[in-house]
Structure 1
């Protein structure tokens, strides 16, 4: 019996930043940066993830 393994290197997910460049911000509104980050790996193969 053969068993296939996929080895995934360590990875890191970080929340986003907002970079604003210019002379002025005028008016109303919001600048939103995501407060969470997620990495999702979905395995549709016959191999096992390690």
Structure 2
């Protein structure tokens, strides 16, 4: 699974109240933010490009 898919699929509760929504802990939230920042940095510097 790619990093972007992991970020997207792991955050079921990002819009609370959905059918798969659950309370997420601080560690999960921090990991998601760190992964998102990492991906944005790679995309903005050209390390990742559309195939």
TMscore range, shorter length: under 0.3
TM-score (norm 2): 0.22
Higher relative helix content: 2
Rg (Cα) greater in structure: 1
Instruction: Compare relative contact order (CA 8 Å, sep 6+) and give the higher one, 1 or 2.
Output: 1
TM-score for the superposition, normalised by structure 1: 0.22
